[in-house]
Amino acid sequence: MSYQVSFISHGKTVAMEGGKTILDAAAAAGIPLESNCGSTGKCGKCKVRVAKGYAPQDAAAGRRFFSEEESAAGWVLGCKYEIKEDLEVEVPIQMDAGSRKTKLNSLLDNIVISSPIKKVYVEMDKPSIQDQCPDYERVLRALNIDAAGQRPSRGLLRVIPKTLRDAGFKITAVLLDDQVIWVEGGDTTAEKYGFVFDIGTTTVVALLIDLNDGSIKAAAAETNPQNVFGADVISRITYAMENGEEGLAQLHDKVVECMNDLALRAAAEAKVDKNHIYEATVVGNTTMSELFAGVDPTYLAPAPFIPAYVHGIEMSGAELGFTLNPELRVHLLPNIAGYVGADTMGVILGTHIHERPEYSLAIDVGTNGEIVLAGNNRILACSTAAGPAFEGAEIKFGMRAAEGAIEEVYIDNKSGGCHVKVIGDKKPRGICGSGLLDAVAQLYDEGILNLRGVFNVEGEEAEKIHPDLRKRIIKGEQGYEFVLTTKEESAKGVPVTICQKDIRELQMAKGAIYAGMRVLMNEMGITIDQVKELLVAGAFGSYIKTDSALSIGLFPDLPNGSILSIGNAASEGGRLALVSEAERALCDELARKSEYIELSSRVDFQDEYVMALYFPAKEETGSGE
């Protein structure tokens, strides 16, 4: 028998045989509905809501992915829900790979947009022998601004005479904090823009922001060109140290040039006049921040890891080397400590973590994992040396999250299946951080690894492994490896595998982060059941699967809390600080309020770390499958 399945979200209807799934119907209707786990119900990507005709089906209930309320509202797994009558189905536009992880909305709608940049159009009287008011004072007079508090720059005074005359004394004045900083011919009041720059050790991102409403008009990103002096912060600090003033200047110039290029590119794309860009905020880790400011980071590298400053800095864009508006002001947001930088401040400000349900944890994971715990009127922050595992380095087949990288893994011990999702849908060349994490979690979930991270190759547990999967455990040069894709399936003609050492690296990385969270809780004097939420920042937060992170114990399983992905919160904080004076002041205030906890001087850190190396016992993960 045939039924009508209407995808109300897409305005398409198909007829389907009874017993087929909604995933089949979507395929027939040409509606993209992701599914990466071979319809095993494990990836949760094919979530849909049956708006009409819904009847509970056990297999499609996806307990891991939906709350009871969601199930009652008709949310099901498309790959498992069988068509037994006419249905109306809603496919959500954006789906999140994670299950219990929801996306945090931008705070932009909750704050008052109030850029310190204001623009006012005026038509002035022309000078005469009876009215010899000087040009600059004429502008102030037309604006009805008292000259007493004004501190004009040379740059402004240089452009005023010609601008006024070229424009027939009809001009737009640009004000910053009630100071006239620029004049433009004609009425350009609508055009005011700024940039948020996120200087990552690896990637520099520029977001062109409309200062009127905070919207992102264009974005551009590029590899941080400082990488020619070293891939990580320590090697760049060393380069600056060994090459003195000149080395420092090279590092500074490289990144500023890159930022300026990105800005010009984004402005061109959005058809924005570069002279209409008046302010920028900059976030980055403390080393990136110091190099950007051209400050010697030498003493950051050795103990006791002392940065030159953590204070936010206001700088002249022209002096730095930007070719946007000559009066561009650049605000480098405050850092907290040598290894908790302005990027973490961006997370704190971008989430207003101090106002979120107590207690709230936030993590931003890269080579270092920065952790923040807020509540009880305190903000604690620490940094853990997570190591490079999450970035795919020091891993046998590790690679960055680029085309050809395995980013998701689905292993099913019942069927013996092993599926991978590869970036760009190519044959895999290797595995990136999120893929590694996913793979290890699946191996542990399906009983192929034990609690200590060791392959079950003998005994009772080994017997339980599906023969197809058991065949994938091979003996390599340095112990056992698990074959994710065969040599036929792989790009380079050799199988892509996960080896025992890779698993150890991951255990150390996740152990360090988990232990860092525990130390902050100890310092705060709370237990894990008091934590209401875990905010996961950055690319890491967007790409890894929450269930996998919970499985291996990278994320704590919060009995009374939820997990939220907060996207590029560092940039988000930069954006809030850019478009609101109040947020900028708040950022400085929160930075001063934040307490840095140095883990290397904590006796409890080592204990927590050792305990956190193992995977959580399975009853604790909440994984019910």
Count of residues binding a copy of itself (CB under 8 A)? 52
Residue number with CB closer to a copy of itself (154 or 414): 154
E runs forming strands in 436-478: 473-476
Is residue 177 at the binding interface for a copy of itself, with CB under 8 A as the rule? Answer: no
Is residue 313 at the binding interface for a copy of itself, with CB under 8 A as the rule? Answer: yes
Is residue 487 at the binding interface for a copy of itself, with CB under 8 A as the rule? Answer: no
Q: CA 437, CA 431: separation in Å to the nearest integer?
A: 10
Q: Residue 39's closest CA among 62, 16, 66?
A: 62
Q: CA 15, CA 372: separation in Å to the nearest integer?
A: 52
Residue number with CB closer to a copy of itself (155 or 622): 155
Q: CA 211, CA 174: separation in Å to the nearest integer?
A: 13
Q: CA 174, CA 456: separation in Å to the nearest integer?
A: 69
Residue number with CB closer to a copy of itself (162 or 464): 162
The residue type at 313:
I
In the complex, what is the shortest distance from the CB of residue 97 to a copy of itself, in angstroms, rounded to a whole number? Answer: 38
**Owner of token pair 């080397």:** 321
Judged by CB under 8 A, the residue of 97, 283, 310, 563 near a copy of itself is: 310
Residue number with CB closer to a copy of itself (141 or 532): 141
Is residue 523 at the binding interface for a copy of itself, with CB under 8 A as the rule? Answer: no
Q: Residue 153's closest CA among 316, 321, 346?
A: 316
Is residue 165 at the binding interface for a copy of itself, with CB under 8 A as the rule? Answer: yes
Count Cβ atoms within 10 A of the Cβ of residue 72 and give its class: 0-12 exposed, 13-18 middle, 19 or more buried.
exposed
The answer to whether 513 touches 371, Cβ cutoff 8 Å, is yes
Q: Which residues contact 437 (CB under 8 A, 6 or more apart)?
A: 390, 506, 510, 544, 545, 548, 549, 552, 554
In the complex, what is the shortest distance from the CB of residue 591 to a copy of itself, in angstroms, rounded to a whole number? Answer: 9
Residue number with CB closer to a copy of itself (157 or 190): 157
Pairing of strands 87-90, 533-537: unpaired
Judged by CB under 8 A, the residue of 319, 355, 394, 468 near a copy of itself is: 319
CA angle 356, 310, 515 (to 5 degrees): 55
In the complex, what is the shortest distance from the CB of residue 166 to a copy of itself, in angstroms, rounded to a whole number? Answer: 12
Strands laid side by side in the 170-176 sheet: 117-123, 170-176, 179-185
Judged by CB under 8 A, the residue of 15, 306, 402, 494 near a copy of itself is: 306
The count of other CB atoms within 10 Å of the CB of residue 303 is 10
Cα of first residue to Cα of last residue in the chain, in angstroms, is 32
In the complex, what is the shortest distance from the CB of residue 340 to a copy of itself, in angstroms, rounded to a whole number? Answer: 11
Judged by CB under 8 A, the residue of 9, 427, 476, 596 near a copy of itself is: 596
Residue number with CB closer to a copy of itself (150 or 203): 150
In the complex, what is the shortest distance from the CB of residue 557 to a copy of itself, in angstroms, rounded to a whole number? Answer: 33
Binding mask 117-156 for a copy of itself (x = CB under 8 A): ----------xxxxxxxxxxx---------xx-xxxxx--
Count Cβ atoms within 10 A of the Cβ of residue 302 and give its class: 0-12 exposed, 13-18 middle, 19 or more buried.
exposed
Is residue 170 at the binding interface for a copy of itself, with CB under 8 A as the rule? Answer: no
Judged by CB under 8 A, the residue of 67, 105, 560, 600 near a copy of itself is: 600
In the complex, what is the shortest distance from the CB of residue 607 to a copy of itself, in angstroms, rounded to a whole number? Answer: 19
The count of other CB atoms within 10 Å of the CB of residue 414 is 9
Is residue 588 at the binding interface for a copy of itself, with CB under 8 A as the rule? Answer: yes
Residue number with CB closer to a copy of itself (261 or 598): 598
Judged by CB under 8 A, the residue of 295, 393, 526, 613 near a copy of itself is: 295
Residue number with CB closer to a copy of itself (171 or 552): 171
Is residue 303 at the binding interface for a copy of itself, with CB under 8 A as the rule? Answer: yes
Joined tokens for residue 203: 């990637």
Q: CA 62, CA 468: separation in Å to the nearest integer?
A: 25
Judged by CB under 8 A, the residue of 52, 170, 311, 487 near a copy of itself is: 311
Judged by CB under 8 A, the residue of 78, 200, 338, 561 near a copy of itself is: 338
Eight-class DSSP state of 276: G
Quickly list DSSP for 526-589.
--GGG--EEEEEHHHHHHS-HHHHHHHTSS---TT-EEEEEESHHHHHHHHHHHBHHHHHHHHH
Is residue 323 at the binding interface for a copy of itself, with CB under 8 A as the rule? Answer: no
Judged by CB under 8 A, the residue of 299, 321, 400, 530 near a copy of itself is: 299
Q: Residue 529's closest CA among 557, 565, 563, 564?
A: 557
Is residue 242 at the binding interface for a copy of itself, with CB under 8 A as the rule? Answer: no
Is residue 222 at the binding interface for a copy of itself, with CB under 8 A as the rule? Answer: no
Is residue 528 at the binding interface for a copy of itself, with CB under 8 A as the rule? Answer: no
Is residue 589 at the binding interface for a copy of itself, with CB under 8 A as the rule? Answer: yes
Is residue 247 at the binding interface for a copy of itself, with CB under 8 A as the rule? Answer: no
Is residue 214 at the binding interface for a copy of itself, with CB under 8 A as the rule? Answer: no
Quickly list DSSP for 63-110.
TTT--HHHHHTTEEETTTPBP-S-EEEE--SS--SSSSEEEPPPGGGT
Is residue 362 at the binding interface for a copy of itself, with CB under 8 A as the rule? Answer: no
Stretch that binds a copy of itself, among 269-277, 292-300, 350-358, 438-446 (CB under 8 A): 292-300
The answer to whether 491 touches 427, Cβ cutoff 8 Å, is yes
The residues binding a copy of itself (CB under 8 A) are 127-137, 147-148, 150-154, 157-158, 160-162, 165, 293-296, 298-299, 303-311, 313-315, 319, 337-338, 588-589, 592, 596, 598, 600-601
